Structure 1
Amino acid sequence: MPHILLAEDEPRITSFVASGLEAAGCTVEIAATGPAALEAAGSGRADLMVLDIGLPALDGFEVLRRLRARGSALPVIILTARDSAEDTVAGFEEGANDYMPKPFRFDELLVRIRARLGDSRIASSPASLVVDDLELDYRARRLVVAGRLVDLSAREFALAEQFLRNPDQVLSREQLLSRVWALDFDPASNVVEVYVRYLRRKIGSERIATVRGMGYRLVTPAPG
């Protein structure tokens, strides 16, 4: 099982990336500061590090610089909001193997990790996700509802994916904010409620139940 070191200090991003990597069959070790990342990277446990530049105490560039100075060949993918040409060049000059700007698509990050590791044990993104008569088509970026094609916006698609990945489970507003609007949401907004309403209009209001005081749940038919 690939061991990924995630060096990131933003809790929402950490939760979003870690949950995706674990679902893909990886073990994840988290380091929230530069010194912690450097120590964990030098331990020999990790197969690859996903590294944020804006770490506290020691920034990602310095972590990478010191790691390479020690002779470590650990594959490193920089994941950062600093996306200028100068920062990108600096990242590669310090020894990064890849550089991804935020905001990012998780499936692209997963593809890059698989490519760096050459590891088939990391599950690739499926072509579709099926729950009962709902099928989420990743290639066409649309939903099939009882044989009927439904076009979704990018946010609607991401929200539908969360429900289909967790059928009959209650997903809180905070979980949905973190997973769907991980990088750019206002915690005080009603964006979840608005997009749940949009999605209900397209797939049927009865399919997404409101669990009062807790969140929302994708309803699937009872067996037999």
Structure 2
Amino acid sequence: MSFKKIIEPLKDNLQQNGITEPNSLQTKIISKIKGGKSLFVIAPENSGKTTSIVISVINKLKEAFEDAPRALIFVKNKEEALNLAEIFSTYKRGTDLRVYCAYDEHNLELQREELYLGTDIVIATPKRLNRIFYLNGINLNKLQMCIVEDAEFLFRNNNFAEVTRTPESISRCQYLVFSDKFDARFERWQETFMHLAEIVKISK
């Protein structure tokens, strides 16, 4: 898939940041993601995984719609959430897409109030997302994309179990897991909500 097939504001923002052609990873996965395929994306550091997430989410959602989020991205901590939100801010210019970060260090009640105002993309740490959800502070019924960025963090501090709770609470959704390596524990997800997912690998 070339960048000719993405929405104009995103294409312009990529060009302004010196990205004119998809790299090898983006060539393999962006069209699959646009088509709704669930994927395990296994690629080394600095291969463009984060940029691929941002491009794919913006290109698929296109514009703001209603109040409930349509994309949920799990990250390991506050720093990663804010960094990813900054990247989205760069590439979503010219669209009205709304991005919200939910992390443990922020006031829980304030997060519930802010989410109630509406957002399209939520970037969240697993434990905080689940606390908000079980307090009825977020509506996941409109979710189209559930993504894990740099999934190695899942296997610390019970994050794997925390993220696994989300598919148990929502209906059909596209799942995208980005990681440096395929961990055997991902097989549990293959047996349940990601049983039709494709594994895409690129080497260094």
The structure carrying a bigger helix percent of its residues is: 2
What range is the shorter-chain TM-score in?
0.3 to 0.5
The structure carrying a bigger strand percent of its residues is: 1
